[in-house]
Every structure is written in structure tokens, then in C-alpha cells.
Structure 1
């Protein structure tokens, strides 16, 4: 009986589109252009991600993410939508209305996170204005801007804990018209919060803490006080007269802790500013004593119920 092996043709490898980041796209996306590839040279593009969600009850989190807004995960693989991004989501038709970014949460533990946000492709089409980034870069009239105008699309980064310190560093590289606007939220109920902003940051800054927020010596002269409502203080970083609707937005807060905001590369200044004083030591000692006292009461109640039963 003749063999069919000679009639079989070798299987050819299937052609798979590979992004410049080294990953195949989850969904249809705009092709990468040479300008974006050049912008990626200065980045650590190992394992870029988008729509990052990390949540744990106990244990510290120290990590570094590279957020690539050009990666479009399919909706079934996306994490549950949080309250702060319900109104603006990644659409399912390949166009970008808002870039998800990263959301980190720890119940009891510290967060030390560094997030790098890559620029959008110049071919990415924004649903808000209806034309791609390359046209936005040149302006509607075709004239180049002296300063890159704010991109309507946003990249959201959130880091929050219940008990523990939060350190958040965000880097966006060289500012370009394809750089999504930064929406950053760093919160802790019981701990210190330190935020390191990119040097190109310009926009709204809201701080919420029991005392006075601390700014780095470089950032402080650029902060203009806008309003103060209770514990919340609103500032504008940069030239307030150059404010535009699509500006950066940062919210930093701690219920029982110190808040510090500065630029990337100012770690030593942050350490000096966040050193505990006598009052902070006293507050934390009292807090630990109260927690131990409540645990003792709870244990006693459990023993009492066990004897009754």
C-alpha cells in the first residue's frame, strides 16, 4: 500500500504580526511607525503590559511595570473595572478613548512601585477628536507646535494601601504629542506616601493629609495654591496660565501619615523629609498599643463564648 508521506507538504509557519515591543497584539492595533520605535530605544521594554491589576491583602509589593498603551487586551481578559475608571474605558473597536495603565492595592503592607508609560503610536486614533496622534502632533492646521499639546488620551496609575507606606515613581520619557496624560492616585490610610513625578509633569495636584504636605525644593516653587477644602489642598504645578483641559492630574493622600511629592531622582531628599519625628513615633506606638488591646479583647470574647458553648 503506497505511503502518503511523500504527498504530504511540509507545514509552513503561520505569519504572526509582532509588535516592536516584542509581543503579538491581543487585538487589531495600528501599525508601529519608525518614530515610535525610536522612542522605545531608551525604555526597558521587557514584558510590557497594559490594564495591570495587582491586589493582595497581606504582604509588601515592590515591583516595576512597563505600561504599553498600544497593547489592547480583549475585554474577557480585562480585570473588573474599578470605580475611578468606569466612565473612561478602552473601547473594543481598536480605537483608544482612555488608556488603562496600572492599579495596585495592598491591604496590609508597603507598595514600592515604578511605572514606565510608553508613548502611543502616531497611528493610534483617538475617539475624542477623531484623528490620529500624528495629526494631533502637527496641529489641525498642519503647523507644528512649539510645545507638544496635551494628548486627550490618559494613562491611569493607582497605588493604595490600608496600613503601609506607598512609594510611586512614574516615568514617561521624553515628552511628545503621543505621550498620554498622566492620571496618578497614591493613597494610604495609615502610612507615608511619597510620589516621584516625571519632570514634564504639568497639571493639577491634590493633597490630603493631617498635616502640611511636603514638596521637594525643586517642585515647591512651581506649585500654585488654588483652594483648600478641609484636609484637601489643591495646587497647580507649572504655568497656571498655560493650563489646558487635557492636563496631568495627581491625587496624593494619607489619613494618618506624611505626604511628600517631588520629581524623579530626588530620593535622598524624600528620605530626609519623611524621617519620623517624636510625634510620629508616639502616634504609631499608640496605634500599635490599640491594635494589641483590641486583639486581646477579641481573644477574651472568643474564650468566653467557647466556655458557654
Structure 2
């Protein structure tokens, strides 16, 4: 039937209308008509009783007479908007109070109908259906906003998770771990920051040479793999990838990350380039930058202690 509206796709809840009018003939006529169209209808003979019914259960649409004794329609409308602002309100008014009906719309009423109601289908039913559709759209919009907010929170949580698992977290964690490390502990601590079982070798500067001092998931290379410091002269070089025979057993390819601190080369991280466990270049570079800072600070402390 025309008046049967599904307010939620997941339910068959009918539209409920609350009729507030001091005219018993109009109340009964409207209620019988709307119920015949499939609506659920409650009615009240004055504004106070209407507000009481509102507090008991919120309707979808309220039809409120503008001129009633004791509490007029404008006052009832104000109370409705305070208690249940989502309820759509349609005012019923005589032609002599049309200006008041327009004022009611400024206070939040959806629309108004003029009395006497001649055509119940056109003058009443169609207006109530449009009001109900507006309420449905507002509810849908609110639900969508809630879903968008939830999605945004989920995305922010995922971004925070990625940050804690990414470059910034690795650097921060490494700095926390090795801030108090001794020189003997430093080598293994630096290599421990490289995730997984990726083969890696740490070189530390000794005068004009880079000496392989510690290895992870790999054997220390032979003595001929000592590198001259002047092989890496550009502090802006982030990494160098190529063949370095003898560095890793059975593998020639390696990723070299120079460890510059304040323009001075303090060491080198060598990563097996073909390893399936190799982290991203940016993550390795971040670990290398923190390693360089620690190596540099240790070098400064050593100079101060011996000077």
C-alpha cells in the first residue's frame, strides 16, 4: 500500500505518525485514513499529551496543529526539537495562521498543510511520505558519516601501526638500545637492527681502512676484503649496489651503505643483495644513518678520552 515505508533495508518497520490536534473529528479521520494505508498511528488531544507520547516512543513524523489551547503548536514544536530533533514535524494550520506556519518552518518544521484537509491522499499522505523520506535520508547520512569516521580511525590506526613498524620506529628503537652500549656491544647491536635473516657485514673504520668486524647470518670475509676509506668519498651517497667478490660466500652481489657522520666515513654496512630476506633500501638506509651517528659519537668519546 502507498503508506507502507521500509525505514531500514534490514527491517519491515512501518512508518509511525504521531497526530496532535484538539479537534477529535480530525484526529479520528486522519488516524483511520493513515492506518488504512499501513501506518502505525498514535494521537493526542493537546500538546502536553503529545510531548508525553514523544517521551514514551519517538515517532518518524509528527502532525501538529498550530492552534491549540494551553500549549500551542509552536511551543510543542520547540519541545519536539529539543527532545527528538530527528523527528520530522508537519504543522497543520488554517489559512488565517499561514504566517505562523512559515515561522514554524524556520524553527525546524519540515512543512505545513492547510486545514480543512480536503484531499487526504494529496494534501496529507504525500507530505508525510516526503517528510519520512527526508528523515530516512538524514538517518542514512548519519550512518554513512559514522562509517566514514570509523574507516578514518581504522586508517589512522593502520598508519600508526605502519609507522611503528617502519623507518622511524626502527631508528628510534635502535637509538634507545645502543645509546648506552659499549664499543664491544655496538657491533652486534647495529647488526641486530636489520630485520630477518638477511646476511650482513659491519665494517668499522680503523685509520685509513674499513675492517670487517662483525657479521650476521654470514661469515666474516677474508683479509683481502678489507676496503680503503677513499673508496667511499661522497657523504651524500646513500647506497652502492654491485659485485663484490669474496664478500659473501657463493654470492658476488652486495648492497653497500656507507656510514658517514659529520662528513667523515665511520664505517660501512654490507648487505647480500640477492637475499630474499633483504629489507627495503629506505629501511636499511635509516638503520645505516642511525648506525653512523652511534659510530660517530663513539669516535668522539674515544677522542675525548684519549685527548
User: TM-score normalised by the shorter chain: which range applies?
Assistant: under 0.3
TM-score normalised per structure 2: 0.24
| Structure (1/2) with the larger helix percentage | 2
Q: Which has the higher contact order (CA 8 A, sep 6+)?
A: 1
Greater Cα radius of gyration, structure 1 or 2: 2
| Structure (1/2) with the larger strand percentage | 1
